[in-house]
A and B are shown apart, each in its own frame.
Chain A
Amino acid sequence: EAGVAQSPRYKIIEKRQSVAFWCNPISGHATLYWYQQILGQGPKLLIQFQNNGVVDDSQLPKDRFSAERLKGVDSTLKIQPAKLEDSAVYLCASSLMGGGTDTQYFGPGTRLTVL
Chain B
Amino acid sequence: AQSVAQPEDQVNVAEGNPLTVKCTYSVSGNPYLFWYVQYPNRGLQFLLKYITGDNLVKGSYGFEAEFNKSQTSFHLKKPSALVSDSALYFCAVARDTGRRALTFGSGTRLQVQP
Say whether, besides A42-B107, A100-B94, A103-B34, A108 and B101 are in contact (CB < 8 Å): no
CA distance A107 to B99 in the complex (A): 22
- For residue A106, CB closer than 8 A to chain B, the reply is yes
Tell whether, in the assembled complex, residue A109 and residue B46 are in contact, meaning their CB atoms are under 8 Å apart: no
User: Looking at B32, B41, B44, B96, which has the most chain A CB atoms within 10 Å of its CB?
Assistant: B44
Contact of A43 among B42, B44, B51 (CB under 8 A): B44
Interface positions of A from 77 to 115, Cβ below 8 Å from B: 91, 93, 98-101, 103-109, 111
- For residue A61, CB closer than 8 A to chain B, the reply is no
- For residue B106, CB closer than 8 A to chain A, the reply is yes
- For residue B87, CB closer than 8 A to chain A, the reply is no
Interface positions of B from 58 to 108, Cβ below 8 Å from A: 90, 92, 94-96, 99-107
Tell whether, in the assembled complex, residue B105 and residue A42 are in contact, meaning their CB atoms are under 8 Å apart: yes
Q: Mostly helix, strand, loop or mixed at chain A's interface?
A: loop
Complex: chain A residue closest to B92, CB-CB: A42
Complex: chain A residue closest to B104, CB-CB: A42
Contact of B44 among A41, A45, A56, A91 (CB under 8 A): A91
Contact of A56 among B46, B99, B107 (CB under 8 A): B99
Tell whether, in the assembled complex, residue A103 and residue B96 are in contact, meaning their CB atoms are under 8 Å apart: no
Tell whether, in the assembled complex, residue B43 and residue A108 are in contact, meaning their CB atoms are under 8 Å apart: yes
Contact of B100 among A43, A100, A107 (CB under 8 A): A100
CA distance A57 to B100 in the complex (A): 12
Interface positions of B from 11 to 42, Cβ below 8 Å from A: 32, 34, 36, 41-42
User: Looking at A43, A48, A91, A93, which has the most chain B CB atoms within 10 Å of its CB?
Assistant: A43
Tell whether, in the assembled complex, residue A91 and residue B107 are in contact, meaning their CB atoms are under 8 Å apart: no
4 interchain residue pairs of minimum CB distance:
A42-B104, A106-B43, A100-B100, A100-B94
What are 19 inter-chain pairs, A to B, with CB distance below 8 A?
A40-B107, A41-B107, A42-B106, A43-B44, A45-B101, A45-B102, A48-B101, A91-B43, A98-B100, A100-B94, A101-B94, A103-B34, A103-B46, A104-B102, A106-B36, A108-B41, A108-B42, A109-B42, A109-B43
